[in-house]
Every structure is written in C-alpha cells, then in structure tokens.
Structure 1
Amino acid sequence: MKTNIKTTLKAIFLISSCCMVANNLLAAKEPKEKEDNRNPLGCYDTGYQFDLKTLHLYPGHAGEIQSMYFLFNTLNQKVNLYQMRDEESSRTMYLNHTIQPRQWAVLSTTEKKVKFICTVPDGKEEYGKIVDCSDSLRVCEYTNVRYGLNNRGNYWLVKSNTRSGALREVVHYGIIPAQ
C-alpha cells in the first residue's frame, strides 16, 4: 500500500513539474516577442505622420535636422517602402527599402520631408499591392542623436534586424542614439 502511495505521489510530482516547466517556457517566449515590438528606449513617437495610406517623415521638427527613425514591420510578410518625391528633391537618391516580417529598420535622413508609400508582395503587380502604412509600420524618432562628421546624409543604417540587433548596428556604425 505504501508503494502505491509513493508511486502515485511521484507521478503527481512529475506531472506537476512538467506542467510548470512547460508553462515557464511558454511565458518566457511571449514577453520576448512583445519586447521586440516596443520602441527602443529614448525613441519617441514624434516627427512623422500617416496620411492617406502613406508615411510622412518630418526630420528636425522635434530636434536636430539630422534625424534617425526606427521603423518596425508589424506584418507577417515583408513591406516595401517606395519614396514619393516632390519636384524640389529631384537631386537626391531614392530611399526605397524592404523591411522583413516583424523586423526593425533604421533610416537616417537630413531631408526636410520624406514620404513613403507601403506595398506588400503581390504576384499580379510588379511593385506589389499598396497597403496602409499605419497598419503595417510602427515608427519612432530619436530626436537627440550624436553623429560623427562622416555619418551625415540620407541612408538606411539598418536593413532588417531585431530591435536589439538594430541598436547594436547603429552604435557599431558610430552613432550615439542619445535620450
């Protein structure tokens, strides 16, 4: 009789231990994914606007004219950003870019205004299907960035990476995202 009780208690203990471990693994996975979606520390919800399915960036409105924007693709498919130009910015290169699913990209720019239209891959259209940028992107701006003299201009600092990976790439490039 004592053997049956011991065996039953061991089985209950083993099952409860397995349940606790499985619960901890599932709980640990969810916050990491949620954490990667949050804006980096010091990156503010400013310097941009969504208008008629497009994204408008306004560098210099909240800080220095040389601004750094972090863009997060909220979709489970890649998002293409195509720059929309005004006549006044015809001498600069296009800043078209693709952000992989659930990844961050970082844009550094000195232009007064940058506009993008967002698309997702579509077999029918060459440039993809137009989607609302406000539904597919999360944007924040570092307003107090320290650049070296050789790091100024308009370019994509980070192509596609995790949040912490994007921050590491920015710092490795020699730019300090100050708060």
Structure 2
Amino acid sequence: MAFYKKLATLFIASLTNLSMAHPQAHYQPSSIFPRGCEATGFVFYRDFLVLNEHGNQTFYLIQNHSDQTVEFEHIETKTDTFMSPKMEAKIAPSHWSAFASDVPQLYFRCYLQQDDKRVAVNCGNFLNVCQYPRVRFALSNQGSYWVSTDKAQAQVIKDATAKGIFLHW
C-alpha cells in the first residue's frame, strides 16, 4: 500500500511540475468568434468567399477585419438559374454581418471603393468568417438572405435571435 501512495505522490508531483514548466500549454487565446461559431463550412477560393458547401440551411457570421469598407456581391455560377436575387451588402471596418443560406456553394465577390471606382479584391484578405454548424431555423425564416448587416457583433447576434434563429452550440 505504501508503494501505491508513493507512486500516486510522484505522479501528482510530475503533473504539477509539467504544468508549471509549460504554463502556455493550457493557455487558449480568446477567439474573435462568439461561442459555438466555428471556422467551417466556407472557403476562400481565388478571390471569392464561397459559403455553404452542401446546401443545408446554415448561418454565418462575417467580420471585416480591415480598415476599409468591404462590399459584397453574390455571383451566380449556375448557368441554368432563371432568376436569382441580388444579394449585396457592405461591412464597415471591424463590423459584422450575418448571412443565412440554404443554397450550395454561394459565391461572393468582394470590392473596395478606390478613387471613385469599385475594385474587386481577394475576400480572404479582408474577412473573418465562422459558421454555427448546429443552428436551428423556424420554417418561416429559412432561405438565403442577409440576416443583419454592418453592425457590432452583439447586435448582429441579437438581430438573428429576434428573427427566430437559434444559435445552438
């Protein structure tokens, strides 16, 4: 029995020394994304932001981390689409927007205003994006649309929940 007590004491001491020797091993940097929002379900492809790989109803938060206003425009990639709504938005520096989607592979092109001209830019250089993979929508608010645009993160989340979108984590 004494052997096991010594072994347990040695084990606890080794864990204590390990955590003191490497305190950063337990450090997790705070995420810019709210709880439950994960950097999944999208890709930056060439200069585009492509949302919703599979076409399931989903919800994204998008942040402009640059010092310039970024404009978005949905680019239709399917040749057999009869009519597609124009989904445009602007996000000021450090602001957020929320986008709901039930269409697979929605392409967005990003633009900046430079010298009174609209210039296409690489979306990946200006945006942080996350998805709520376990989001729940009421039947009345499903579809692909901008839920809230160009606001502080807390306000965008508040707008989404007010519309009946349950951001489950």
Please give the range of the TM-score, normalised by the shorter of the 2 chains: 0.7 to 0.9
Q: Distance in 1 between matches of 2:60 and 2:122?
A: 19
Other structure's SS at 2:40 match = coil
CA 74–172 in structure 1, closer or farther in 2 if over 3 Å, else same: same
Where does the alignment leave 5 or more consecutive residues of structure 2 unmatched? 1-29
Bigger helix fraction: 1
User: Which stretch shows the higher mean deviation, 76-85 or 91-100?
Assistant: 91-100
Deviations 1:15-44 (A, max 9, x none): xxxxxxxxxxxxxxxxxxxx7x80111011
Where does the alignment leave 5 or more consecutive residues of structure 1 unmatched? 1-34
Write the mapping of 1:144-163 to structure 2, written as runs, cut at 5 A. 144-163=134-153
TM-score normalised according to structure 2 size: 0.76
Aligned residues between the structures: 140
Given that 1:53 and 1:117 are in contact with CA atoms closer than 8 Å, whether structure 2 keeps it comes out as yes
CA 133–90 in structure 1, closer or farther in 2 if over 3 Å, else same: farther
Deviations 1:109-168 (A, max 9, x none): 11111001111112342xx12221111001111111111111011110111111111111
Other structure's SS at 1:168 match = helix
Q: Percent identity?
A: 24
TM-score normalised according to structure 1 size: 0.72
Aligned pair partner of 1:135 in 117, 120, 125: 125
Structure 1 counterpart of 2:57: 66
Other structure's SS at 1:116 match = strand
Other structure's SS at 1:134 match = helix
Paired letter, 1:108: A
